[in-house]
């Protein structure tokens, strides 16, 4: 279509939309730039103590140093790996347990109060116990991540199973389906969107578990860098690690969101 075929009113509408979209993006970037600029200036003029508050230029120097010796890749890699293992196993195990609950209403009713309490309990409180039982290894960290994400997964996926359209299930019974056919043909496929959205929640939760785990185990990973930096008062290292963590968290979340979009398109 040629632009002269579009009415003036519609042109104005499109223009307004584009202007708004651009101004949102510009504001978002300016906010970030402004934050770092203010931080840098405040530290430069000693309005804040750069030794305690750090400073973007020092963060950048730290980043270059960590990149040069390659340690940044090791630590970030470890954290990401532990998070992925944690949230995948949390989602898979949680879904399996949700299937068991769906299968047996009796088991679901019996376990209900325990799940409610476990869900309310801050799982990080169990960190020291896990550390003692499993030991100061990556397994402890993954167990922490798993523990934090599994209860939410069980509750959400079970809810999705239970809210599966009763008439769709009835349709399968009338066709003479067995219980496992009802599960695989209707209940599971219709719950895939819920499972994916649980996956999205679990990325964040699992990362919390991993960082807490790394604080406790203190061997490697971004959580270790943060706790170590804090203890020896290297705030540059702490700030750098936090920034890397923010980027890594965002990237992991976005890749799950991308996966979700891709899957929804297929359906």
Smallest distance from other proteins to CB 159, Å: 20
User: 3-class secondary structure for the chain?
Assistant: CCHHHCCHHHHHHHHHHHHHHHHHHHHHHHHHHHHHHHHHHHHHCCCCCHHHHCCHHHHHHHHHHHHHCCHHHHHHHHHHHHHHHHHHHHHHHHHHHHHHHHHCHHHHHHHHHHHHHHHHCCHHHHHHHHHHHHCCCHHHHHHHHHHHHHHHHHHHHHHHHHCCCHHHHHHHHHCCCCHHHHHHHHHHHHHHHHHHHHHHHHHHHHHHHHHHHHHHHCCCCHHHHHHHHHHCCCHHHHHHHHHHHHHHHHHHHHHHHHHHHHHHHHC
Give the integer Cα–Cα distance in Å for 241 and 237: 6
Q: Does 192 bind other proteins (CB under 8 A)?
A: yes
Binding test (CB under 8 A) with other proteins, winner from 47, 173, 233, 259: 173
Among 42, 88, 118, 171, binds other proteins (CB under 8 A): 171
* Window contacting other proteins (CB under 8 A); options: 35-43, 162-170, 211-219, 225-233: 162-170
Q: Which of 59, 155, 172, 237 binds other proteins (CB under 8 A)?
A: 172
Q: Does 176 bind other proteins (CB under 8 A)?
A: yes
Contact call for residue 190 and other proteins (CB under 8 A):
yes
Residue 9 phi/psi, 5-degree rounding, is: -60, -45
At closest approach, how far in Å is the CB of 116 from other proteins?
23
Specify the stretch interacting with other proteins by CB under 8 A; choose among 50-58, 84-92, 168-176, 198-206: 168-176
Under rule CB under 8 A, residue 267 binds other proteins = yes
Options 41-49, 93-101, 123-131, 181-189: segment touching other proteins (CB under 8 A): 181-189
216, 140 Cβ separation under 8 angstroms:
yes
CB of 266 to other proteins, least distance (A): 8
Q: For the CB of residue 166, give the shortest distance to other proteins in the complex, in Å.
A: 10
Query: Interface with other proteins includes 165 (CB under 8 A)?
Result: yes
Please state the closest distance from residue 198 (CB atom) to other proteins, in A: 18
Residue 198 tokens, joined = 């649980």
Which residue from 18, 21, 61, 168 is in contact with other proteins, where contact means CB under 8 A?
Answer: 168
Residues numbered 73-112 forming contacts with other proteins, rule: CB under 8 A: none
Q: Min. distance of Cβ 175 from other proteins in angstroms? A: 4
**Interaction between residue 185 and other proteins (CB under 8 A):** yes
Query: Which residue's CB is nearer to other proteins, number 16 or number 168?
Result: 168
Nearest CA to 199 out of 245, 247, 262, 244 is that of 262
What is the binding site for other proteins (CB under 8 A)? 165, 167-168, 170-177, 181, 185-186, 189-190, 192, 267
């Amino acid at each position: 279509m040629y632009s002269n075929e579009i009415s003036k009113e519609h042109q104005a509408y499109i223009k307004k939309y584009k202007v708004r979209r651009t101004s949102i993006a510009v504001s978002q970037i300016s906010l970030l730039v402004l934050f770092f600029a203010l931080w840098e200036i405040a530290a430069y003029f000693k309005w804040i103590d750069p030794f305690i508050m750090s400073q973007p230029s020092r963060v950048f120097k730290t980043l270059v140093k960590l990149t040069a010796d390659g340690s940044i890749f090791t630590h970030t890699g470890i954290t990401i790996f532990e998070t992925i293992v944690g949230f995948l196993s949390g989602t898979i195990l949680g879904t399996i347990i949700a299937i068991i609950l769906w299968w047996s209403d009796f088991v679901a009713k019996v376990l209900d109060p325990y799940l409610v309490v476990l869900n309310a309990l801050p799982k990080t409180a169990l960190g020291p116990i896990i550390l003692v039982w499993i030991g100061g290894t990556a397994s402890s960290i993954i167990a922490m991540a798993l523990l934090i994400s599994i209860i939410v997964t069980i509750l959400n996926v079970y809810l999705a199973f239970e809210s599966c359209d009763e008439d769709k299930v009835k349709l399968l019974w009338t066709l003479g389906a067995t219980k496992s056919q009802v599960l695989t043909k209707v209940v599971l496929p219709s719950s895939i969107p819920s499972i994916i959205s649980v996956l999205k929640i679990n990325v964040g939760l699992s990362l919390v578990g991993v960082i807490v785990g790394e604080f406790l185990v203190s061997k490697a990973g971004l959580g270790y860098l943060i706790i170590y930096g804090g203890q020896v008062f290297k705030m540059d290292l702490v700030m750098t690690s936090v920034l890397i963590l923010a980027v890594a968290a965002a990237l992991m979340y976005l890749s799950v969101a991308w996966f979700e979009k891709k899957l929804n398109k297929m359906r």
